[in-house]
Amino acid sequence: MGERLIVVGNGMVATRFVEELTRGALGRYSIMVVGAEPRPSYNRVLLSSLLAGEIDEDGIELRSQSWWRASGVTLLHGQEVAAIDRADRQMVLANGLRFAYSKVVLATGSVPIRLPKPGMDLPGVVTFRDIADVQAMRAAARTKARAVVIGGGLLGIETAHGLAKAGIEVTLVHLMDRLMERQLDAPAAALLRRALEAKGVEGLLHADTARVVGTKRAEGLELTGGHVIPADLVVCAVGVRPNVGLARATGLGVGRGILVNDRLATNCPDVFALGECAEHRGQLYGLVEPGYEQAKVLAQRLAGNEGAIYPGSTLATNLKVTGVNVFSAGEFAGSASDDVILLEDEGAGTYRKLVLAEDRLKGVVLFGDTADGLWYLDLIRSGADISGLRDALAFGRAFALPQAA
């Protein structure tokens, strides 16, 4: 019987961590995973595809019950953790059960933000975070409801597209001057807006929410200025915040997220955190890939590799909307001293922006053709000298490196 390790949270990052740990330290730990959702872990990235009807619920399951059993992991889902008793080194569940631990990994994820505006508590106002939210939206789709999605970031766009594909009339409202302003420059964002409108999503920019209209349930969304958009369903997709309640109650260091060092350790011995709930070097990551990188490092450390450290992640974004390919990574905005390479084919609907500094690729934005996205990301992460590829870089890997194609 190995050391008792309890993972709090059963999302994508927690599952990847367990996979990495059981692969690298089989038998060293007796692992228990406690998840609040009433089902085993699933792929949240595919929720928009589930909403659009492109995949069913079985298709988003990450690991089967038999896999968890074969891996020797005790899986408790539908269970809330009420407290961590540090003095007695016990995990306390909401139902009163207690389990001793030697190490704890917090992978509590994040919770969706609801705008602090009147009417946000009305029936018919939902967020988009889990399968229950998808089920609520698909129920609305069966009545051919009208929907407003608040938020023109990655999640809001995927939500709006999923609703439109499910047969709902959708308006997407966004406070900023362009969609996905954190991931796209203005030309790429304009292309994205046109592509979404072609798929039935009306986009309103510079649109500030005043309140949800309705008495017994949502009937519309009023913008500042008085314009009202009729709606039977209002989806708030304006972002998430780290789920840090348990960590704070336990006495762990908390900033915006649970504070961790390069070893993913908190200020409490033998308590670690990773994924969306963790704050590393002042950075929060709302995407799954950095969480996977953290999971690999922490699994290596707990398997005995004390040299494994997490230095941070280079963010990359990939939009999951059928027929609309968008990719961005690194410092794509550029500065006055950077070199910028632009390649645009209006007829083909493609756009490429590459930002270079000192013969290194710093950032990239791709629209239309994103096949070379991961190659560009590797160049950004490695800091490779691209001076010999500069003239061909914008045309992609096959053209720049024909011998490797």
Return the HEC string of the chain.
CCEEEEEECCCHHHHHHHHHHHHHCCCCEEEEEEECCCCCCECHHHHHHHHCCCCCHHHHECCCHHHHHHCCCEEEECCCEEEEECCCCEEEECCCCEEECCEEEECCCEEECCCCCCCCCCCCEEECCCHHHHHHHHHHHHCCCEEEEECCCHHHHHHHHHHHHCCCEEEEECCCCCCCCCCCCHHHHHHHHHHHHHCCEEEECCCCEEEEECCCCCCEEEECCCCEEECCEEEECCCEEECCHHHHHHCCCECCCEEECCCCECCCCCEEECHHHEEECCEECCCHHHHHHHHHHHHHHHCCCCCCCCCCCCCEEECCECCECEEEEECCCCCCCCEEEEEEECCCCEEEEEEEECCEEEEEEEECCCCCHHHHHHHHHHCCCCCCCCCCHHHCHHHHCCCCC
Q: At what angle do helices 12-24 and 288-302 cross, to 10 degrees?
A: 30
Residue pLDDT, tens place only, 251-272: 999 999 999 999 999 999 899 9
Residue pLDDT, tens place only, 326-364: 999 999 988 889 999 999 998 888 999 999 999 999 999
Contact, 246 vs 75, CB < 8 A? no
Residue 378 reports pLDDT greater than 90 = yes
Distance CA 266, CA 261 (A): 7
Residue 404 reports pLDDT greater than 70 = no
- What separation, in Å, do the N-terminal and C-terminal C-alpha atoms of the chain show? 49
Beta bridge pairs of residue 150:
173, 236
Mean pLDDT across the stretch 168-173?
96
Distance CA 103, CA 20 (A): 16
The type of residue at 249 is: A
Indicate the average pLDDT of the chain: 94
Distance CA 95, CA 80 (A): 8
- Residue 320's pLDDT is 78
Mean pLDDT across the stretch 380-400?
94
Q: How many residues does the chain have?
A: 405
pTM of the model as a whole: 0.93
Residue 1 reports pLDDT greater than 90 = no
- Which domains does the chain show, CATH number per domain? 3-111+240-302 (3.50.50.60), 125-236 (3.50.50.60), 325-400 (3.30.390.30)
Closest CA to 229 of 194, 206, 204: 204
**In this structure, what is the dihedral angle of CA atoms 384, 389, 392, 394, given to the nearest 10 degrees?**
20
